[in-house]
Amino acid sequence: CLDFGNEEAALNCGAYLFKNLYKIELEEPLEDDPQSPWTVLAIPYMPANYEDICSVEKHLSEVAAHFGGKLSGWGCLAQTDA
**What is the three-class DSSP state of 81?**
coil
Element holding 9 (H helix, E strand): helix 7-19
The residues pairing with 39 across neighbouring beta strands, listed in sequence order, are 3, 27
Q: DSSP letter at 29?
A: P
What pLDDT, in 10s, does the model give residues 12-62? Answer: 999 999 999 899 999 999 999 988 999 999 998 887 889 999 999 999 999
Read off the pTM. Answer: 0.87
Half-sphere exposure of 11 (CA within 13 A, CB side): 4
